[in-house]
Amino acid sequence: TDVSGIAQNFSASTSSEAKEDAPKAEVKDTPKAAEPVKETPKAVESQSLDTPEGRIFVSPLAKKMADEKGINLSQVKGSGENGRIVKRDIENFTPAASVAAVGKFVPSGQEDFDEKPNSQMRKVIAKRLSESKFSAPHYYLNVEFDMDNAIAFREQYNTLPNTKISFNDMVVKACALALKQHPQVNSQWFADKMRLNNHVHIGVAVAVEDGLVVPVLKFANEQSLPQINAAVKDYAVRARNKKLTPQEMEGSTFTVSNLGMFGIESFTSIINQPNSAILSVGAIIQKPVVKQGQVVVGNTMKLTLACDHRTVDGATGAQFLQTLRGYIENPVTMLV
């Protein structure tokens, strides 16, 4: 018997069984490293400010620091989340070089004033104008007249020997003629009646050192332009020298106030009661105007008529101004 084959088979069988019977290495589960816990970030405390430059987000601390330092937050660029302004932005902020730093004003003086007793004239002015303003329902009509013809007329008129008239003289004369055609504007209001005056007495406001006086041109519609000029000049001189009599400042039915010589273009006045209206006259201004479809250099003057609505309705006041315009813009008609 060939035992070598048996020996080989036995050896192979034994080796195979040994491999099967050998204890298997125990595989242990290696614990995995713990994953770091992600912390949810806390909400960042912030304030939102609405400014003309837009909405600004800023931390409370940064806002407090900015307020203390007088820093305009709209000039600070935020470095925080979404452009939020934080503490370091305020600490590092430098004002723009082009903006000059302005120091806070610290008053060094004391309040000071002088007192003087109210003159009798100021007391009368205060009393009468207050009564007029609060008792008469004022309304105002504004117009602008073309003064080119008036300027040419005055230049030609003043070439006459010993003759000198002003634009104010022309306005007074024109008002006197227009009032004859619109007696309602020449009326006066009293507690129990309305007086429609057929005569025309025009008060001319004159500034004096202590205030204002209004001498009266009696029957102004019957006076010539040179006569009006002479009377107004005389009243003005005597008013400033306190030489006017009470009778010369009584009886007006209408008033003209002119501030054009001071460069005032337009203004409103308080009615001199019991009159129903007062005309405020401004300066003659040279400016571009449209004539016959062309832009040319023209001269205009603004006037404001203050009316008492108890006696003069709006349409009546407007019609008076239309008539006045006819005389001023065509002054030769005042001589007819």
User: What pLDDT is attached to residue 96?
Assistant: 67
The rounded distance, in Å, linking the Cα atoms of 258 and 237 is 16
Which amino acid belongs to residue 250? E
For 138, the token pair is: 């004022």
DSSP state of 92: T
Predicted confidence band of residue 230 (pLDDT cuts 50, 70, 90): very high
172 pLDDT band (50/70/90 cuts)? very high
Superfamily of domain 47-91 in CATH is: E3-binding domain (4.10.320.10)
Secondary structure class of 99 (helix, strand, coil):
coil
Burial of 225 (0-12, 13-18, 19+ CB in 10 A): buried
Q: Taking a C-beta distance cutoff of 8 angstroms, is the pair 220, 176 a contact?
A: yes
Give whole-number Cα distances, 317 to 124, 173, 202, 237, 307, in Å. Answer: 28, 18, 17, 32, 7
Can you give the pLDDT at residue 156?
A: 95
pLDDT at 8 over 60: no
**Residue 295 φ/ψ, nearest 5 degrees:** -85, 120
Q: What does the pLDDT read at residue 62?
A: 87
Work out the mean pLDDT of the chain and round it to a whole number. 86
pLDDT for the residue numbered 100: 59
CB 194 within 8 A of CB 168: no
Cis peptide before 274 (omega within 30 of 0): yes
Q: Other C-beta atoms within 10 Å of 57: how many?
A: 19
At 142 the pLDDT is: 98
Q: How far apart are CA 269 and CA 138, in angstroms?
A: 10
Q: Model confidence at 1, in pLDDT bands (50, 70, 90)? A: very low
CA dihedral 249, 217, 277, 322 (to 10 degrees): -170
On the question of pLDDT at 42 being above 70, the answer is no
Judge contact between 235 and 206, C-beta under 8 A: yes
For the chain, where are the alpha helices, taking DSSP H only? 3-21, 60-69, 87-91, 120-135, 148-157, 167-181, 225-240, 314-329
Q: What's the pLDDT tens digit per position in 65-103?
A: 988 888 888 888 888 887 889 989 888 888 765 455 678
The single residue of 138, 182, 199, 309 carrying the catalytic annotation is: 309
Please give the CATH superfamily to which domain 121-335 belongs.
Chloramphenicol acetyltransferase-like domain (3.30.559.10)
Any catalytic annotation for residue 182?
Answer: no
Helix (H, G, I), strand (E, B) or coil at 25: coil
- 55 vs 129 pLDDT, higher one: 129
Residue 17 banded pLDDT, cuts 50, 70, 90: very low
pLDDT value at 7 more than 50: no
Q: How many helices (H) and strands (E) does the chain have?
A: 8, 12
Q: What is the pLDDT at residue 203?
A: 97
The whole-model pTM stands at: 0.69
Determine the Cα angle at 315 with ends 177 and 172, to 5°.
25
Average pLDDT score over residue span 254-273: 96
Residues forming beta bridges with residue 279, ordered by sequence position: 256, 305
* Domain map (residue ranges) of the chain: 47-91, 121-335
pLDDT tens digits, one per residue of 295-315: 999 999 999 999 999 999 999
